[in-house]
Amino acid sequence: QLLNYFTYKAVRTVLNQLYEMNPTQY
């Protein structure tokens, strides 16, 4: 359960960073 939480947080962080770097891509 805890691993899923950290994985979710990591994925969200990476996606957020990608969105900030490419705001017009999506």
Residue-wise pLDDT for 6-17, tens only, equals 999 999 999 988
> Given pLDDT bands bounded at 50, 70 and 90, which one contains residue 22?
confident
pTM exceeds 0.75 for this model: no
Give residue 4's pLDDT.
94
Instruction: Describe the chain by its helix, strand, coil percentages, rounded to 5.
Output: 75, 0, 25
